[in-house]
């Protein structure tokens, strides 16, 4: 079934169900429980830090960054002086770390940020940084396990859409997508659909975003489809 336009841009919550603190697409729950159980058997407490996020929620993040209320970071994680950037430079800088409202994979309920709750020491807060996932970081062992699980026969269809740096979104090893559902959303999601939505909703940097949308879409929105659900009529 092709997802509706509102469902693609984070404005339709009818397919969502609650899962602990998060909300997710209802067809993701069973496979997620399978993965959580596999993690438990390996000694990890797999939890979802963030699942579905609405357009309004993503817009609030975007507005806070565009206005300088929230820091916009450079390549090395240092805050940028947003006053000195052109609108287009600022747009690129935000998109490296935050999704464009209407174009977040978290809008679909098929994608989630995961972590190992048992690896967090009391009082520690989850950061979701690459340092946390690399050798010496608190999530390193969990991500070693997750990499193996994703490549195994036991994986019901999860993959990491931001596994490597493709020059767009910075790598996010903690971000998982359930390909059998998400691939359908990704195929239905087009520049035209996004442009229509953005024109109808006020947004900081709107004119710049709409003008450059095809380029921004290719660089920051499009990622490879997941390994399951790919068909021979792929273009």
Q: Which of 12, 113, 116, 132 binds Zn ion (CB under 5 A)?
A: 113
Q: Provide the minimum distance between the beta carbon of 175 and Zn ion in the complex, in angstroms, as a whole number.
A: 4
Sheet holding 46-50, edge to edge: 46-50, 111-116, 175-178, 158-159
Q: Provide the minimum distance between the beta carbon of 84 and Zn ion in the complex, in angstroms, as a whole number.
A: 29
**Both tokens assigned to 7:** 């469902």
Q: Give the per-residue contact string, 138-177, with Zn ion (x = CB under 5 A; - = no).
A: -------------------------------------x--
Please name the helix (run of DSSP H) or strand (run of DSSP E) that holds residue 31, with its range, or none: helix 29-41
How far is 72 from 65, CA to CA, in rounded Å? 6
Q: Provide the minimum distance between the beta carbon of 99 and Zn ion in the complex, in angstroms, as a whole number.
A: 8
Reduced to 3 states (helix: H, G, I; strand: E, B; else coil), residue 141 is helix
| C-beta of 44 vs 52, nearer to Zn ion | 52
How far is 75 from 100, CA to CA, in rounded Å? 18
Hey, which residues between 175 and 214 contact Zn ion (CB under 5 A)?
Answer: 175
Q: Provide the minimum distance between the beta carbon of 160 and Zn ion in the complex, in angstroms, as a whole number.
A: 10
> In the beta sheet, which residues pair with residue 114?
48
| C-beta of 59 vs 175, nearer to Zn ion | 175
List interacting residues with Zn ion (CB under 5 A).
113, 175
């Amino acid at each position: 079934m092709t997802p509706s336009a509102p469902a693609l841009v984070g404005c339709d919550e009818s397919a969502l169900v609650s899962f602990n603190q998060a909300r997710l697409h209802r067809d993701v729950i069973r496979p997620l429980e399978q993965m959580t159980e596999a993690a438990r058997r390996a000694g990890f407490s797999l939890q979802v830090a963030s699942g579905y996020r609405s357009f309004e929620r993503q817009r609030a993040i975007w507005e806070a960054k565009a206005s300088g209320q929230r820091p916009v970071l450079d390549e090395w994680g240092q805050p940028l002086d947003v006053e000195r950037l052109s609108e287009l430079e600022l747009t690129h800088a935000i998109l490296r770390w935050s999704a464009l409202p209407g174009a977040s994979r978290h809008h679909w309920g098929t994608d989630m940020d995961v972590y190992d709750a048992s690896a967090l020491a009391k009082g520690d807060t989850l950061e979701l940084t690459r340092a946390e996932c690399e050798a010496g970081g608190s999530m390193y062992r969990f991500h070693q396990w997750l990499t193996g699980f994703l490549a195994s026969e036991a994986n019901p269809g999860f993959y990491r859409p931001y596994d490597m740096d493709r020059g767009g979104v910075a790598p996010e090893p903690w971000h998982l997508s359930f390909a059998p559902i998400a691939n359908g959303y990704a195929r239905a999601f087009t520049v035209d659909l996004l442009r229509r939505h953005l024109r109808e909703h006020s947004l900081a940097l709107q004119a710049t975003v709409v003008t450059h949308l095809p380029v921004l879409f290719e660089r920051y929105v499009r990622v490879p489809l997941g390994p399951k659900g790919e068909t021979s009529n792929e273009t």
